Amino acid sequence: MNTSGRVAIVTGGSRGIGRQVVARLAADGYALVVGYIGNQAEAEAAVEEARAAGAEAIAVRGDVADEDAVAALFDAAEQRFGGVDVVVNAAGMMKLAPLATLDLDELDRMLRVNVRGAFAVDQQAARRVRRGGAIINFSSSLTRFSRPGYSAYAASKAAVSAITLILARELRGRDVTVNAVAPGPTATSLFLDGKDEQTIARMAAEPPLERIGTPEDIAELVAFLAGPGRWVNGQVLYANGGAI
């Protein structure tokens, strides 16, 4: 697929999977808008990596759960590059605790970022993505794993899956695909923080491929959905090496 002139917004693009998605789409020739909330240095580093690959790129700070900030993110993309073709909604947070002991303030924070944030970004994407474009959300394989301690996070990502499936059908006639990627355990700081080597080894042994996923694994799938995967629409794709 010819990606010349195509523009992608990647929220959560300064770290983890989002950072690798920026690099992968830059290699494909997209112009990139890196959305971030806190770490300007990491966001600027992602921009520099994209530019080193020959892509145009800018970083825009904003909270995905703030509708005005999200609108400003899309405004920046349109003003700098003329429009938006792909939106990758990779921003998210995770707090782990058993349901009985989880602080409800933490639940509210997670729902605000993971659910309200996905909704606000998708709302602007639904209004602005050009024909032939793609909206790619991030759910999680944890919606199927049913691991103790993940009830709140899994619930937030199940909501993202529901939003994705419905939005795909609401955009009938627009020639815009809407899908969600649902990674399994992936070697990012979000996943690795707080886990001992024994826990990580146990999770790595679960899929038939017998390893933890990498951000590169997930970015390849995103690149497919963003470009050549035009006949994949209204789906949640579980990228976990066959663990479920």
What are the catalytic residues? 153
| C-alpha span between 190 and 166 (Å, rounded) | 28
| C-alpha span between 47 and 13 (Å, rounded) | 9
Tokens (6 digits) for 197: 């080597």
